[in-house]
């Protein structure tokens, strides 16, 4: 590729580096502004990614989890139990956003649409990550009550997709996190004909991070 507004250095797994962790450590020596890790699969990669974030680098990566809260659990769970509190504190202080998505089939059969869950670093979510979740103090509670701060849950987004006719009620419930709660939110909604949708303002991932 041709460098224009930035310079991109890429390392291919198994071709240029034996694993993500070594590639990350090598990248840190080049004073990068942004580091993209294809996937955090093991403890060593997560450790180096945390180190990079703690030293002021913007680190983007992926995890195979079902929602934002499970992503937090996955990262913490990779480390030994005796390191749990340290990792909780480090993660709470360094993360900015956790974005999770599910692709739902469209009601008209024209493909799929993304339902997106967003967990943002706020004083409340940082506290829940650092101290652990408890009754009435969960990351899900924080996301449900943090819409004004830019957070959203899967079920809240799926409810909107059902009400606007983009996805069917049956498919929406099948992809929801808590079917019972979503049914209560939908109330007497019967899943009729699609309604015209307002076009959302387009935002990039960097817009969200710098918000």
Would you list the DSSP string of 137-182? Answer: B-HHHHHHT-GGGT-B-HHHHHHHHHHTTSS-HHHHHHH-S-HHHH
Q: What is the mean pLDDT of the chain?
A: 87
Q: Taking a C-beta distance cutoff of 8 angstroms, is the pair 68, 95 a contact?
A: no
The pLDDT tens digits for 133-189 are 887 789 999 999 999 999 999 999 999 999 999 999 999 999 999 999 999 989 866
Task: Supply the pLDDT for residue 1.
Answer: 60
In the chain, the domains with their CATH numbers are: 95-188 (3.40.50.300)
58-61 and 34-37 beta bridge pairing: parallel
Task: Supply the pLDDT for residue 188.
Answer: 62
Task: Supply the pLDDT for residue 196.
Answer: 46
Q: Which residues pair with 115 in a beta bridge?
A: 102
Angstrom distances, CA of residue 126 to CA of 92, 97, 168: 5, 11, 35
Task: Supply the pLDDT for residue 207.
Answer: 53
Q: Taking a C-beta distance cutoff of 8 angstroms, is the pair 167, 103 a contact?
A: no
Between 127 and 203, the higher pLDDT residue: 127
Task: Supply the pLDDT for residue 39.
Answer: 87
The pLDDT tens digits for 97-109 are 999 999 999 999 9
Per-residue pLDDT at 38 exceeds 50: yes
Between 76 and 21, the higher pLDDT residue: 76
Mean pLDDT computed over 5-28: 81
Task: Supply the pLDDT for residue 160.
Answer: 96
Task: Supply the pLDDT for residue 113.
Answer: 97
Task: Supply the pLDDT for residue 108.
Answer: 95
Q: Where are the alpha helices (DSSP H) in the chain?
A: 20-28, 43-54, 68-78, 84-94, 123-131, 139-144, 154-163, 169-175, 179-186, 205-209
Closest CA to 41 of 19, 67, 14, 68: 19
Mean pLDDT computed over 183-203: 59
Closest CA to 115 of 127, 102, 97, 96: 102
Per-residue pLDDT at 203 exceeds 60: no
């Amino acid at each position: 590729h041709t460098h224009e507004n930035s310079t991109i250095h890429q390392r291919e797994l198994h071709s240029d580096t034996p694993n993500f962790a070594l590639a990350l450590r090598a990248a840190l020596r080049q004073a990068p502004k942004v580091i993209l890790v294809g996937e955090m699969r093991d403890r060593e990669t997560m450790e180096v990614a945390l180190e990079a974030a703690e030293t002021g680098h913007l680190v983007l990566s992926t995890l195979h989890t079902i929602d934002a809260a499970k992503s937090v659990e996955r990262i913490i769970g990779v480390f030994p139990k005796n390191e749990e509190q340290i990792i909780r504190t480090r993660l709470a202080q360094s993360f900015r956003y956790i974005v999770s998505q599910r692709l739902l089939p469209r009601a008209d059969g024209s493909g799929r649409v993304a339902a997106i869950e967003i967990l943002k670093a706020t004083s409340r979510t940082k506290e829940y990550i650092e101290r652990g979740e408890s009754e009435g103090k969960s990351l899900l509670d924080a996301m449900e009550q943090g819409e004004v701060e830019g957070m959203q849950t899967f079920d809240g987004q799926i409810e909107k997709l059902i009400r606007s006719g983009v996805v069917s009620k049956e498919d929406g419930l099948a992809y929801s996190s808590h079917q019972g709660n979503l049914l209560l939110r939908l109330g007497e909604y019967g899943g009729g004909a699609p309604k015209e949708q307002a076009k959302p303002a387009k935002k990039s991932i960097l817009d969200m991070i710098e918000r």
